[in-house]
Structure 1
Amino acid sequence: MRRRLINSTLAVVLVVISVFGLSLVLVEVKTIESSAQDGVESEAVQLISVVENRIAAGEEVAPESLRRQIDPDRYAKIEVPGQPAIELGSRPEGRRISAERSGPGGERVTVQQSYAVVRDEIGRTLLAILGVALLAVLAAVLLAIRQARRVASPLIDLAETAERLGSGDPRPRHRRYGVPELDRVADVLDSSAERIARMLTAERRLAADASHQLRTPLTALSMRLEEIIATDDPETVKEEAAIALGQVERLTDVVQRLLTNSRDPKKGSAVAFDLDEVVKQQVEEWRPAYRGENRTISCSGARGLRAVGTPGAVAQVLATLIENSLTHGDGEVDLHTRVTGNQVVVEVTDQGAGVPADLGSRVFERTVSGRNSTGLGLAVARDLAEADGGRLELLQQRPPVFALFLSRQTDPS
């Protein structure tokens, strides 16, 4: 590209120099020839005037008195009636420039100059024009190289930026080059880099959330399948299979919910539902796991509550809190429901050591964990709660009390 820019600039400069240089040469040649002709004619006029004045004064027309009237490079011939012709200088050979003037008494003056003198002056002028043209070409070359570097270097840099984006490095470079068109391309690439970075972040977040959120339903489903394998009672198998089928449906709901949140985290699908049923279902699903750890899980509090939200999301939030209590807590776990104002609250508490004092409310931040876990569970649970207009809070650190607040459905009056 640099070579093309340099060649194109030089081509333009050479065309301009050729057109204007040729015109200038023609004008200068004509000017020099005209100037030489005017000089010869001027000397002829001056010389005839001197001759007439001497004749009128009765003085002799002698070569010595006339020699200083003409240029040494020119030839003059003075013819006066009754006197021999007077010649000054050497008669030029070949092409020459000539001028003649005659007086009233028959006297005649001829002045000539060799065209070689004019040719020499034209040659010097052409050399000067050629020198200026060469300087112009040299300046054009330097300017073309500078401009080519100024244009080509940013383009190479922009190509490297585009290659970095294609290779998965979406960091914007924020470089500008002082050329509006190139700066516009840089702006577009930086904007694209930021969009790609957001997309990659969203994809990585979805993958992390999915791997974490699917773990709990799959664990519960695995426990049900183990119950089916361990029993020979057809009724127990049928009951456990029905529960496992329900868990598969909730697993599908979790996947759908994750996909919905990845597209629009603020878009919910809240409906009115029976909160007691969701709480009871979670207690029943997790009871075998707690029994295996010689612990108990129960529910208490107000009954007959109806909340507004997404049942699958609420179940997932409660499952996350219950699993955290199973993994990090101790003793009995209680799901307590109550009413506060126009909201219903589900509190999950256990008898363990609780949340470390240095974490506090930061426990809901991603990657924040005090027990060597991923730190995603509570963050995703809070996102699920907020998507339907609810909220998840840590009411007490020791013993831990997590509370899920949901809008309450009021009976129509």
Structure 2
Amino acid sequence: MVAAIAVLLLGVPLGLVVTRLIDDEAAQQLRAQATLLLSQVEYASIEDRPIDPDELQRQYPARYVQIFIRDRPTVVVGAEPPPDRQMTEETQSESGVFVRITRDRAHVERNIRGWLMLIVALAGLALAVAVSLAVVQSRRLALPLLDLARIAERLGSGDARPSRHRYGIPELDRVAEVLDRSATRISELLSREREFATDASHQLRTPLTGLTMRLEEIVAAATQPAIVREEGEAAIVQAERLTKVIDELLAAARRQRHAQTEAIDLDEVLGQQITEWEPAFRRSRRELVLAGDRGLHAMVTKGGLSQVLATLLENSLEHGDGPVTITTGSSDRSIVIEVADCGPGIPEHLRTRVFERNVSGAGGTGLGLTLARALTASDGGRLELVRARPAVFALFLRPAVETARQRVVSGPA
């Protein structure tokens, strides 16, 4: 429509101008012929020569010529056009010679129609080119928009894969970039939710196992009130620990655990873990030993450290052999807790990948050590494998005395 309006705004004035120019040119040509004819007639009169109609017919074809000379007969050359199509020019001299020359306007109109048809053809060509360009441009704009609509619909249905499509149009490319960033964020959120569900199921298994063992002890000691009371209190502790595990997992999911660290008495946490795991080791005819320095304090979260130690002890119980030794020590920069057993250890090909998610060499879930390292890192510490055979894991924690001059900014690995 814009192209049609532009063509009309240009084509109509151009047609009028061309019509006027052709008309004026025809009139000017007829006027020049009349002037030339008058000079020829006067020259013939001066020389007293007769006017030859045949000569005039050859000189002025398709013209109707009338010559009036005083005291001489009128000379007429050519056929007179119809009255409604006549173009006439007249001129006369002081000697009494009068010349009238007439032409058929149909020839001029035919010329005008030819030029107008050329203008119309050019206008049609311009419209065709404009329509073609409009179709190409509209497809160039419409197809990316349809593609973006499909991508948005796919995001809404839960398929959060970035498309990486770019279309060469800055505005549409910005929209595509925003959708890709949104897809990445949605994918991260979904992945975090899945990881949280997996981590929660894994981490809750250990306290539930401990709670089950305590309940079994209660059932086995039903005739001994003192043991029933002791085991019941231990079961309550396990239930409270289960609640703390849930709180820890939720805090880790929100990436806020590093703000909850405080000075913790390691003897209290280690004693609690030995109390919880000693029955399981006793049933397996294995020994759980606590060695090293006492009275150490570290900057950790109590629940996080408990989960890490529980994971290491559970791995030693399931995959290790012989006595399990928990050794504590300290240096100027860190407090170290080592958990070692006398089992076959970790295969060489898994030594560098033991902390990777879903990597397990003994039919496990491959999540325990990954979560343990993440929980340790969120407290500002490190969990490392210091020896593969037999396996020795070491926890490096921040001493409580460093809280005044250090601030933890790291999050879960």
Task: Tell me whether the two structures share a fold, i.e. TM-score over 0.5.
Answer: yes
Q: Secondary structure at the match of 2:260?
A: coil
Matched residue, 2:298? 307
Distance 1:17 1:147 in 2: 20
The Cα shift of 1:76 comes to: 1.0
Distance 1:64 1:402 in 2: 129
Matched residue, 2:375? 384
Q: Output aligned runs, 1:19-38, within 5 Å.
A: 19-38=9-28
Q: Secondary structure at the match of 1:76?
A: strand
My pick for the range that moved more, 355-364 or 377-386, is: 355-364
Matched residue, 1:354? 345
Matched residue, 2:69? 80
Distance 1:181 1:285 in 2: 62
Letter matched to residue 188 of structure 1: V
Q: Does 1:221 align with 2:211?
A: yes
Distance 1:139 1:410 in 2: 81
Matched residue, 1:394? 385
Matched residue, 2:269? 278
Alignment match of 2:3 (pick from 3, 13, 20):
13
Matched residue, 1:8? none
CA RMSD of aligned residues (A): 2.0
Deviant stretches of 4+, over 4 Å: none
Q: Does 1:146 align with 2:141?
A: no
Distance 1:334 1:64 in 2: 139
Contact 1:43–1:69 (Cα < 8 Å) also in 2: no
Distance 1:69 1:400 in 2: 123
Distance 2:27 2:401 in 1: 117
What stretches of structure 1 of length at least 5 have no aligned partner?
Answer: 1-10
Distance 1:126 1:166 in 2: 58
Matched residue, 1:136? 126
What stretches of structure 2 of length at least 5 have no aligned partner?
Answer: 404-413
Distance 1:361 1:242 in 2: 41
Contact 2:260–2:301 (Cα < 8 Å) also in 1: yes
Distance 2:257 2:28 in 1: 95
Distance 1:163 1:14 in 2: 38
Contact 2:258–2:380 (Cα < 8 Å) also in 1: no
1:39-84 Cα deviation digits (max 9, x unpaired)? 21111111111111222233223323433432x1221101111111
Residues 182, 356 of structure 1: alpha-carbon distance in 2 compared, 3 angstrom cutoff: same
Alignment match of 1:324 (pick from 315, 319, 323):
315
**Aligned-pair identity (%):** 47
Q: Secondary structure at the match of 2:325?
A: strand
1:261-284 Cα deviation digits (max 9, x unpaired)? 222277342111211111111011
Q: Secondary structure at the match of 1:236?
A: helix
Residues 256, 98 of structure 1: alpha-carbon distance in 2 compared, 3 angstrom cutoff: same
Q: Secondary structure at the match of 1:331?
A: coil
Aligned length: 401
1:290-317 Cα deviation digits (max 9, x unpaired)? 2222222231222222222111111111
Distance 2:385 2:55 in 1: 127
Q: Output aligned runs, 1:114-263, within 5 Å.
A: 114-232=104-222, 233-263=224-254
TM-score under structure 2 length normalisation:
0.92
The Cα shift of 1:126 comes to: 2.0
Contact 2:164–2:180 (Cα < 8 Å) also in 1: yes
Q: Output aligned runs, 1:332-343, within 5 Å.
A: 332-343=323-334
Letter matched to residue 330 of structure 2: V
Alignment match of 2:53 (pick from 63, 73, 78):
63
The Cα shift of 1:160 comes to: 2.3
Contact 1:265–1:383 (Cα < 8 Å) also in 2: no
Letter matched to residue 219 of structure 2: I
Matched residue, 2:283? 292
My pick for the range that moved more, 382-391 or 258-267, is: 258-267
Distance 1:168 1:56 in 2: 108
The Cα shift of 1:320 comes to: 0.3
Contact 2:373–2:382 (Cα < 8 Å) also in 1: yes
Distance 2:257 2:144 in 1: 41
Distance 2:371 2:78 in 1: 113
Q: Secondary structure at the match of 2:168?
A: coil
Distance 1:98 1:402 in 2: 119
Q: Does 1:44 align with 2:24?
A: no
Q: Secondary structure at the match of 1:361?
A: coil
Q: Secondary structure at the match of 2:349?
A: coil
The Cα shift of 1:20 comes to: 2.1
Contact 2:339–2:394 (Cα < 8 Å) also in 1: yes
Distance 1:230 1:45 in 2: 142
Q: Secondary structure at the match of 1:362?
A: coil
1:361-392 Cα deviation digits (max 9, x unpaired)? 32112122111211110111011111111111
Letter matched to residue 85 of structure 1: T
